[in-house]
Amino acid sequence: MNNRVAIIGVGINKFGELWDKNLMDIAYEAGMYAIWDAGISGADIDGMVIGNMSAGRFTGQEHLGALAVDMAGLGDIPAYSVEAACASGGAAVRQAYMAIKSGEHDLMVVLGCEKMSDVSQSEAMNTISVASDWEWEGTFGGTFPALYAFMARRHMHDYGTTEEHLALPVVKNHANAAHNPFAQFQSPVPLDVVMSSAMLAEPLRVLHSSPVTDGAAGLVVCREDLAKKYTDTPVIIEASDQRSDTLALHDRKSITTMSSVVTSTRCALKQANLELKDIDVLELHDSFSIGEIILTEDVGIAKKGEGGKALEEGITEIGGKFPVNTSGGLKARGHPVGATGVAQIVELVLQLRGDADKRQVDGAEKALAVNIGGTGATSIVHVLGR
């Protein structure tokens, strides 16, 4: 089937440490915002997909799809739960995209959610670490700060990337988040503060890392011909692609390139019949600042080794040639791991609709999101068009 898929509603709650809400509270809230935004009723919905990394470990609750349908009073519609580590949200969007494109479903709700603050910091770190190769990385202390520190140190060795380069994505993304009412952190952070923050895993510091976050984001997606019934401003998912790489860093040809991102970006742009120069705004997965630098290179904004230089030149700032992470990214908007991929799409829809307020990219018509799992073992890329 050649059904094109449209996004007709978006919803997100303020990310943070949401002590007074449980997992389903925040998921329900984001889903209802998306439904209200789309102007649909429960009777219009014929399926749901929910992305979540590890509710069983974080909150003790599994079987989230059925629970979400039950809480929302949506009857007996099918609900699918998907997991792809930190790319679980992107995987949920892709599953709904494929379901509608195939003709199996007509209109679906997509949710991404995670409640991470109900366990200790060390328990949260251990839970996230199972997205690495546990046998060869996790059991030897290879936490994600350590793994990304390997990538950062090698990038510095091979290309001359500096500590200041590592801090630049943080400064930019916190400045963007200052204009995002849904962001966990809404205050700018000066360069010297980032560079003097406590060491986490050398050369990465605390402020190079995304935080522990609770939050959820939602979408309403449907066939393009149905979208006209509900809105005059649908956003089309023009392409969706997913690729994989080795789970462990030591099995890769290079730990400074995420080959899954390179391939999925190239394939998604080809699918959409676009080139990178046609993209007006991007959301790139910056769980650590070195991640944004590497992804800036892997999607083609900068040549390999020149991601730090691109940041230095302001290419990825709002108003630059390729604005990246106008939402504040994972670093400042927050990173509730299962929700991140959906939250990226929410931001890009707001940009394409012209609803991003002070962080709006003028004239944005095409957008691209890269959501990764682990250190790039999964990459999911979506291209959106106004």
174 among known catalytic residues: no
| CA–CA separation, 80 and 161 (whole Å) | 42
CB 52 within 8 A of CB 112: yes
Residue pair 50/79 in contact (Cβ under 8 Å)? The answer is yes
Instruction: State the Cα–Cα distance between residues 145 and 204, nearest whole angstrom.
Output: 7
Among candidate residues 86, 105, 208, 285, the one labeled active-site is 86
Residue 45 has a CB neighbour count (10 Å cut-off) of: 23
Nearest CA to 237 out of 89, 382, 45, 35 is that of 382
Q: What secondary structure letter does DSSP report for 106?
A: S
Find the catalytic residue in 105, 155, 165, 335.
335
DSSP 188: -
User: Strand 47-51 relative to strand 107-115: parallel, antiparallel, unpaired?
Assistant: parallel
Q: Can 335 be counted among the known catalytic residues?
A: yes
Contact between residue 208 and residue 189 where contact means Cβ atoms under 8 Å apart: no
Q: Provide the annotated active-site residues.
A: 86, 335
